[in-house]
Structure 1
C-alpha cells in the first residue's frame, strides 16, 4: 500500500454518534440508503450491507412524518450512526432528532425562517447531536443560469459564511460543512475556500456524479484533488445504483493516498506491451478470483515480463513475473519458484494459501 500520506488540514472535532470526525480522526466514509425509508426491513438490510462494506456513516431520507416514524425503528436496530436528510421541514428535523438521529443534514436556506431553525438548534443541543450544513450549487440564492463559475463559488461561500455566523451566534458549533456541485473544478474551488475560511470538518464529494461507470472518474478527480491537499473529513462518492459501490470506490480513493488500509488484497497488474510474454489479463483475472475471499491487506503483482517485474515483485507480498514459456513466483522480493506457464496459477494459489495461513 502507499505509505505516504498528505498532511491533513487541522479542524475541530465533531462527533456523529460513535464516530468522531475532524482533528486527528481518520477520514470517514459515508453513503445514503436508496430504499424507501418506510420499508423498514429493506432499509435495515441495506444499512447492514453498507456497514459490512466498511461504511462509517449512513444518511437516510425522511421527507414525511411516516419516514421519521420509520427512522425511529430503523435507528433502534442498527449500529452505524445515522444522519437524517432534511430539506424543507423543521418539524421533520425535530422528529428525526428525537427518533435517534446522530446528525441531521440541513440546508438552512431551504427553511422558512430562523425562528424555525432556532427550534431545530435547541432540539439538537438537548439531544447532543451534530448538524451538517449542506449547500448544493443548484439551490444557492441569487443564482442565474449565466452566473460565471467564479461568482458561483463566491455565492456558495457567502451563503455558508452567513449560516456559520448565525449558528455560532446561537452557540451551536457541532457543525460539518458541505458544498456540492456537479462541476469538478467548482467542487475543488469551494472546498478550498471552506478550508481557508473555517476550521470545521468538511464533507466532500461530487453531487449527482452519474452511473457507476461514468461517475467514478470525475468523483476521483474532485475528491482526490482535495484529499491530496489535506481537505476532507468525510467522503461520499455519489453513484447511481447500489450504495455499496459508493463505499468501495471511496475506500479505493482513500487507499490511493494512504488514508485507508483495505482489508482485502490489492492487485497490481502491468498494462502490457510488446515485451509481454503471457496473457497477463487472463492470469490477473484468475488470480483476482482466487484471492477474493482473503481478508488481509496484501499487495499482489502480476507482471508480463522481466523488465519491470522484479521491481514490482520486490515491493509485493506475492508476485508473478513472466518469462518465456515460464514464470517466476516472488514472495517479499525473494524468488520462490520457477514454473511452466501452465502451472503459474496453481503455484500462485499454493503460495498465497501458505502466506495467508501464517
Structure 2
C-alpha cells in the first residue's frame, strides 16, 4: 500500500548458490553465518533451521579444520538451505568441502598461498560447477598491497580484488562473486563504488565486524542502504556480534525500507507517550516474536492513540488505534465494527494478522497464476 521509487540496479553476471540466483537483477539474497562450532553438529543444525525460519537464503559455515569439514558433510545432509564453506589458509579444506556438498566457497586467495593451490581449488570448483566468493577484508590484505598503500584504504581493497578477479579470469573460471569489506562504513562504501565500475561479477555487500546488535545495525544500515540506493549489491550479510537470526531480520528490514524486497510484517508503531491506551512497546515486541514465521508481506500499524492512529491505520493492511479499554481495528483502511479488548490485544491481533496473511497469500497466488 506504500509507493516506492524504483532503484536502477547495476548490471551484473548471474551465478547460482544452490538454487539461489545471484546477480543480473535476481532478488537480493540475504545471508548469515553460523557462530556455533562447526564440530558441534546438533547446535549448528539447530541454528541453521532457526535462520531458515526467519527467511535466510544462504548460510555460511566456517571450516577451519579437517574435523570441521567432516562435520560439514553431516550438516549438509541434514539441512535444506544452500551452504557456503568459509575457507582460509588450507586449500585442502576447500577441496574437501566441495566434495562434501558445499554450494559455494568463500576464500581470500591472498591467504591461500601459492597459485598452484588456488588452481586446484578452481579446478575442483569448475568440475563440480560450484561458485566462489572472492572475499577481500580490510583486516587481511596481502602484505605487498599493505606495504604499497600503508593502510587498508578503499583503493587497496579494490586492487586486491581486481588482482584476484583477473587471476580467476585467466583460469577461464567465471562463476564467482566479489566482496570488499571494511569495518569503517565510508571505506566499505567507497571501495564498493569503485569496484562496481571495474567488474561485471555479482557483488556481495556488508560492513564487516560492524559490532554489537545496536551499533552494528546502525553502521550496516547506513553503509548497505547507501550502496543499494546506488544499485550496488546482489547479495548481502549483516555482520553482528549477536544472534545470527538478527542479521537476517535486519537485512530484510533494510530491503523492506528501500522497497527492494519484502518478507514478513512491516510493523508501523508509535514511540509511545502518556496518551497510549495500551502498552505499545510490549505489544509490538511480543507480536514480532510470535509472527516470525509469516512470510507474507504486509503492513500492520499499531498506534496507542487516535492522534496519528487513524491516519496510519488507513494506509495499512491492518491497523490499530488505541482507545479506552477497547481499541479500534482497521482492515485495508476501513474501520471494522468489532473492537479489540486491550487486555487481550496481543492474542486478538495475532489472530487477525494471521487471518489477513492467509487472505493476502491466496490473492497473490491467484494473481501470479493469472500472469
What TM-score, normalized by structure 1, do the two folds share? Answer: 0.88
Question: Which residue in the other structure is 2:119 paired with?
Answer: 118
SS in 1 for 2:79: coil
Per-residue deviation at 1:119? 1.0
Confirm or deny that 1:270 pairs with 2:266.
Answer: no
SS in 1 for 2:216: helix
Structure 1 unpaired stretches of 5+? none
Confirm or deny that 1:60 pairs with 2:61.
Answer: yes
SS in 1 for 2:197: helix
Question: Which residue in the other structure is 2:282 paired with?
Answer: 285
Q: 1:270 to 1:89 in 2, by over 3 A?
A: same
SS in 2 for 1:139: coil
- CA deviations on 1:140-197 (whole Å, 9 max, x unpaired) are 233269947xx71111111111111111111001111011111011111111112111
The answer to whether the 8 Å contact 1:313/1:319 transfers is yes
How far apart are the structure 2 equivalents of 1:346 and 1:39? 37
Q: 1:128 to 1:326 in 2, by over 3 A?
A: closer
How far apart are the structure 2 equivalents of 1:68 and 1:353? 41
How far apart are the structure 2 equivalents of 1:351 and 1:200? 44
Q: 1:73 to 1:324 in 2, by over 3 A?
A: closer
Over the aligned positions, Cα root-mean-square deviation in angstroms equals 2.8
Question: Which residue in the other structure is 2:366 paired with?
Answer: none
Q: Please list every run of at least 4 consecutive aligned residues from structure 1 whose deviation after the TM superposition is greater than 6 angstroms.
A: 323-326, 338-341
Question: Which residue in the other structure is 1:333 paired with?
Answer: 333
Q: Where does 1:182-221 land on structure 2 (aligned, <5 Å)?
A: 182-221=183-222
How far apart are the structure 1 equivalents of 2:282 and 2:275? 17
Q: Where does 1:21-170 land on structure 2 (aligned, <5 Å)?
A: 21-141=22-142, 142-143=145-146, 147=150, 152-170=153-171
- CA deviations on 1:64-101 (whole Å, 9 max, x unpaired) are 11221222222222211111111111111111111111
Q: 1:77 to 1:271 in 2, by over 3 A?
A: closer
The answer to whether the 8 Å contact 2:17/2:104 transfers is yes
SS in 1 for 2:183: coil
How far apart are the structure 2 equivalents of 1:42 and 1:303? 39
What TM-score, normalized by structure 2, do the two folds share? Answer: 0.85
SS in 2 for 1:201: coil
- CA deviations on 1:107-129 (whole Å, 9 max, x unpaired) are 11112211211111111111110
Per-residue deviation at 1:328? 3.8
The answer to whether the 8 Å contact 1:177/1:202 transfers is yes
Q: Where does 1:275-314 land on structure 2 (aligned, <5 Å)?
A: 277-279=275-277, 282-283=279-280, 285-286=282-283, 289=286, 292-293=290-291, 295=294, 296-314=296-314
How far apart are the structure 1 equivalents of 2:91 and 2:345? 60
Q: 1:146 to 1:231 in 2, by over 3 A?
A: closer
Confirm or deny that 1:225 pairs with 2:226.
Answer: yes
The answer to whether the 8 Å contact 1:329/1:348 transfers is no
- CA deviations on 1:230-282 (whole Å, 9 max, x unpaired) are 1111111111132111111111111111222223x322123356xx63346x1
Per-residue deviation at 1:337? 4.2
Q: Which moved more, 1:126-135 or 1:223-232?
A: 223-232
The answer to whether the 8 Å contact 2:287/2:346 transfers is no
